[in-house]
Chains A and B, each alone.
Chain A
Amino acid sequence: AQSVTQLGSHVSVSEGALVLLRCNYSSSVPPYLFWYVQYPNQGLQLLLKYTTGATLVKGINGFEAEFKKSETSFHLTKPSAHMSDAAEYFCAVSAGSGGYNKLIFGAGTRLAVHP
């Protein structure tokens, strides 16, 4: 069965600093992986996804993630944090159970950006 672990429920960085949000997954089949962002009082917005091909995936708002099969990881990074990046971030794996498009989500990481 697939599962997702996000290390660190809260991460705090200074404006301009590197953002690193960690995600590890388990999957018995080649995974499809997603990162979503949730701003206060809103739904989830897709940041980026990995399906096949290039392991370094670029998303919106300057974020990127690297799929590392050997480490079963899909960490999210951004070189320079902006105040507007403060939000909750969710990593998800496509479960594909029974052939259906089900997503398994991590518990989320809340990112705080301080001046």
Chain B
Amino acid sequence: DVKVTQSSRYLVKRTGEKVFLECVQDMDHENMFWYRQDPGLGLRLIYFSYDVKMKEKGDIPEGYSVSREKKERFSLILESASTNQTSMYLCASSSGHRKRALNQPQHFGDGTRLSIL
């Protein structure tokens, strides 16, 4: 069965800290994604990656960066955490390369609830 694992379920950090959120998938998927989820706004795409060392900005990349050094791992980095980055963060992965991936569902981890104090 498909498995996407996020390293922490709950995380509390202070403003100005550099924060790392880790995500690992075991399906050999090409594509990986980071979303944030806020009440009433649904899921908003932060960054995604379609190959190792490749990354693309999503809809709300400001204040974030990502790293994909290995196919199975996709890290989200908050360079200098701020209180408006308090949110639920969801990682997802999907198979297929570019246009062949359009009809493929994304598989999600259980999320990391991040609080910035």
In angstroms, Cα B101 to Cα A49, docked, is: 14
**Contacts A105-B42, A106-B42; A46 near B102 (Cβ below 8 A):** no
Set of chain B residues within 8 Å of A90, measured between Cβ atoms = 42-43
Among B42, B105, B109, contact of A49 (Cβ-Cβ < 8 Å) = B105
Determine the residue in chain B with the shortest Cβ distance to A32. B103
Assess whether A101 is in contact with B43, with CB atoms less than 8 Å apart: no
Q: Which of A6-56 contact B (CB under 8 A)?
A: 9, 32, 34, 36, 41-46, 49, 51-52
Number of interface residues of A (CB under 8 A): 25
Among A36, A41, A96, A105, contact of B102 (Cβ-Cβ < 8 Å) = A96
Assess whether B56 is in contact with A100, with CB atoms less than 8 Å apart: yes
Set of chain A residues within 8 Å of B109, measured between Cβ atoms = 43
A41 to chain B, nearest CB (A): 7
Number of interface residues of B (CB under 8 A): 30
Determine the residue in chain A with the shortest Cβ distance to B58. A102
Interface of A is mostly: loop
In angstroms, Cα B50 to Cα A99, docked, is: 11
Set of chain B residues within 8 Å of A32, measured between Cβ atoms = 102-103
Determine the residue in chain A with the shortest Cβ distance to B44. A105
**Contacts A43-B4, A43-B111, A90-B42; A103 near B106 (Cβ below 8 A):** yes
Among B42, B104, B110, contact of A101 (Cβ-Cβ < 8 Å) = B104
Q: Which residues of B contact A (CB under 8 A)?
A: 4, 9, 31, 40-45, 48, 50, 56, 58, 90, 92, 94, 96, 98-99, 101-111
5 contacts between A and B (CB under 8 A): A41-B111, A44-B92, A44-B106, A99-B98, A106-B42
